[in-house]
Amino acid sequence: MSRIDVRKTYKLYIGGQFPRSESGRSYVVNDAKGKLLANAAQASRKDARDAVVAARAAFGGWSGRTAYNRAQVVYRIAEVLEGRREQFEAEIRASEGVSPARARAAVDAAIDRLVWYAGWADKITQVVGNANPVAGPFFNLSTPEPSGVIAVVAPRGPLLGLVSVVAPLIVTGNTVVVIASEDNPLTAITLGEVMATSDLPGGVVNVLTGSQAEIAPWLASHMDVNGIDLTGVEDVELAAELEVAAADNLKRVRRPSPDTDWLAEPGLDRMTQFLETKTVWHPIGV
C-alpha cells in the first residue's frame, strides 16, 4: 500500500500564532483544475479585530527598532523563502496552473523584491528626508515615520503580489493586517510560516483568509487602523465604500491598482504613502 500523506491544516496567522477562525468557518479552495486543495479558514469580524489588536501591540516595538535591524529581518525573510522555494513553486503551480518556469519566476521575483525592500529600511529616510534651510536661526529636520497599523487587501495571486504589498509597509516600521487573495489564500499562510521563522516579531504581519467583501469593511471602519491599501479590491463600488468608511478617522488610503505589473521594479510610493513626515525645529544660538 502507498503511504497516506499528512495534510496541513491552513489556519490564520495572527500575533505570531496560527489560530483557526474564531467563527469556526472555512471555505473550499480548489486548484486551477477545480480539484480540492484544502479548506481555508474563513476569517470573521472578530478575527479582523484580533489581528488589529496584535498589529497595534507589535507597532511600538517594531517601529522602535533600528532601521538596520528591520532591514536584516526583512532580508532574513528572503533567505528563508529562498530555502523553501520548491514548496512555493509547487503551491503556485497548483493554485494557478502555471508552468514550472512561470512559478519559478514568480518565486524569484518575490525573493528579490524582499531583498530590494530590505535595503530601503535605512535608506528611505536619506532619500525622502530633508534638512530644511529655514530663513532663521533654526535647525530644521524632516524625517519619515511609519503611519501605524495598515490594513491591506492583497491582490489576486498566491505570492508575488502579496509580498509586493506587505514588504514596503513593514520595512518602514508599519505593522500590517493583510487580507489574502480570496482565490489563492493557502500560499499566504505558508508565507506566514516563513515570516514566523524569520525573526519577524509576532503581530508585525497578520494574515487573514476569507471573504474580502466581508472582512475589508470592518478594517476600513476600524478606528485603530491608520491606513488602508485597497490594491486588491477589484469591485469598484466596494473600493469606494471602503474609502468612505476609511474617512471616519482619516486613514491614509491607497486606491486599487488593477493593472500593476508585479514583475516590474516598484517605485517608492508603496512606502511613502504610509509614512508621516515629522519636522523638528530647534533654535540655534549661544
Partner 1 sequence: MFEYAPAPESRAIVDIKPSYGLFINGEFVDGTGTSFKTVNPATEEVLAEVAEASDADVDEAVKAARRAYTRVWSRMSGAERAKYLYRIARIIQERGRELAVLESIDNGKPIKESRDVDVPIVAAHFFYYAGWADKLKYSGYGETPLGVAGQVIPWNFPLLMLAWKIAPALACGNTVVLKPAETTPLTALLFAEICQQADLPPGVVNIVTGAGDTGRAIVSHPDVDKVAFTGSTEVGKAIARAVAGSEKKVTLELGGKAANIVFDDAPIDQAVEGIVDGIFFNQGHVCCAGSRLLVQESVADEVLERLKRRMSTLRMGDPLDKNTDVGAINSGEQLKRIRELSEVGDAEGAERWEVACDLPTKGFWFPPTIFTGVSQAHRIAREEIFGPVLSVLTFRTPSEAVEKANNTPFGLSAGVWTDKGSRILSMANRLRAGVVWANTFNKFDPTSPFGGYKESGYGREGGRHGLEGYLKGEAS
* Contact residues: partner 1, CB under 8 A: 67-68, 71-72, 75, 112, 115-116, 118-123, 126-127, 137, 139, 268, 282-286
**Which amino acid type is present at position 39?**
N
Residue reference for cell 514566523: 196
**Beta-strand pair 205-208/138-146:** unpaired
One-letter amino acid for residue 258 of the chain: P
User: In angstroms, what is the minimal distance from the CB of 204 to partner 1?
Assistant: 20
Least Å distance, CB 108 to partner 1, is: 10
- Toward partner 1, which CB reaches closer, 93 or 113? 113
Compute CA distances 103 → 29, 52, 75, 108, 194, whole Å: 19, 32, 21, 9, 18
User: Judged by CB, which is closer to partner 1: 106, or 215?
Assistant: 106
CA separation for the pair 95, 35 (Å, rounded): 10
Q: Report in angstroms how near the CB of residue 125 gets to partner 1 at its nearest.
A: 8
Count CB atoms within 10 A of the CB of residue 206.
Answer: 32
Q: For helices 186-196 and 160-171, what crossing angle results, to 10°?
A: 40
Do residues 78 and 115 touch, judged by C-beta distance below 8 A? yes
Between 170 and 225, CB nearer to partner 1? 170
- Three-class DSSP category at 24: coil
DSSP-derived 3-state class of residue 164:
helix
Q: How many CB atoms are closer than 10 A to CB 125? A: 17
The least distance separating partner 1 from the CB of residue 68, rounded to whole angstroms, comes to 6
Nearest residue (CB) to partner 1, 112 versus 234: 112
Rounded distance, CA 35 to CA 175, Å? Answer: 35
Distance in Å, CB of 120 to partner 1, minimum: 7
149: its cell numbers: 497599523
**Minimum distance from residue 33 beta carbon to partner 1 (Å):** 35
Closest CB to partner 1 among residues 30, 277: 277
Pick the closer one to partner 1 by CB: 259 or 265: 265
CB nearer partner 1, residue 126 or residue 277:
126
CB of 195 to partner 1, least distance (A): 19
